[in-house]
């Protein structure tokens, strides 16, 4: 029996999700032809971890690129902001005031962004600590060229997706708490959390955006 194609997997997962949940197809390490295939299948959002890989994917898919939004879901180094800005519709990984200021200074037009939260407090991951999110959002509100649309997180990995539930619950509560923040250029519309192993639990706990790669493309290598 032939293995399902990325297009087949994308359609199956998309059909299983509530209509209000955005599926960002995580394209890290994938061939441009695979990325093109999921766009042809109807993918509306492509997630990239690296600026240079996004450049290659966008060049390869050519005219089809405009059918989808392009999201930066990996860490953005300040020295790559100039290269990133023309590529991405959304930067999901704003994790500090320094990075946000760099984006604000170099952008010609307002940039849509999410604030990345290190919900598990892991040293190996980027993101602002949950207890500092409100302060950061208030600081970002004063930037002319940044439009904060919500929060993003990457939970600590576990083979058991149920172990992610407490982290997702904490993020939903934080997201709801930040909803009362009356600050210019800051709105809580998007809660981006959940990946291949955990997205179902994330949706149950309030995610309205998930980032899925392996379940669409299959294991890398």
* pLDDT per position as a tens digit, 91-107: 999 999 999 999 999 99
Contact 183, 165 (CB under 8 A): no
Evaluate whether residue 1 is within a structural domain. no
Range of the domain at 185: 6-213
H or E element that contains 209:
strand 209-212
Total domains in the chain come to 1
Instruction: Kindly report each contact of residues 196-200 with a partner whose C-beta sits within 8 Å and lies 24 or more positions away, as own/partner.
Output: 197/157, 197/158, 197/159, 197/161, 198/155, 198/161, 198/164, 198/168, 200/161
Evaluate whether residue 104 is within a structural domain. yes
Q: Could you read off the pLDDT of 124-177 as tens digits, one per residue?
A: 999 999 999 999 999 999 999 999 999 999 999 999 999 999 999 999 999 999
Evaluate whether residue 220 is within a structural domain. no
Does position 186 have pLDDT exceeding 80, yes or no? yes
CATH number at residue 47: 3.20.20.10
Q: How far apart are CA 121 and CA 105, in angstroms?
A: 29
Which whole number is the average pLDDT over 69-81?
Answer: 97
Which whole number is the average pLDDT over 64-84?
Answer: 93
Evaluate whether residue 219 is within a structural domain. no
């Amino acid at each position: 029996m032939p293995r399902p194609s990325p297009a087949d997997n994308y359609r199956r997962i998309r059909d299983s999700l509530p209509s209000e949940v955005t599926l960002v197809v995580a394209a890290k390490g994938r061939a441009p032809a695979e990325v093109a295939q999921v766009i042809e299948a109807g993918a509306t959002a492509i997630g990239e971890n690296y600026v240079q890989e996004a450049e290659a994917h966008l060049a390869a898919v050519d005219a089809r690129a405009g059918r989808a939004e392009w999201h930066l879901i990996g860490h953005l180094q300040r020295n790559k902001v100039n290269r990133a800005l023309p590529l991405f519709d959304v930067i999901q990984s704003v994790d500090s005031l320094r990075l946000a200021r760099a984006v604000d200074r170099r952008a010609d037009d307002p940039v849509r962004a999410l604030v990345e939260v290190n919900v598990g407090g892991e040293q190996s991951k980027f993101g602002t600590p949950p207890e500092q999110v409100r302060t950061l959002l208030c600081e970002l509100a004063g930037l002319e060229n940044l439009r904060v649309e919500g929060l993003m997180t990457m939970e600590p990995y576990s083979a058991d997706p149920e172990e992610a539930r407490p982290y997702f619950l904490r993020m939903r509560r934080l997201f709801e708490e930040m909803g009362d923040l009356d600050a210019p250029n800051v709105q809580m519309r998007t809660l981006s959390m959940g990946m291949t192993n955990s997205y179902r639990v994330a949706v149950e706990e309030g995610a309205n955006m998930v980032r899925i790669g392996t379940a669409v493309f299959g294991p890398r290598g």
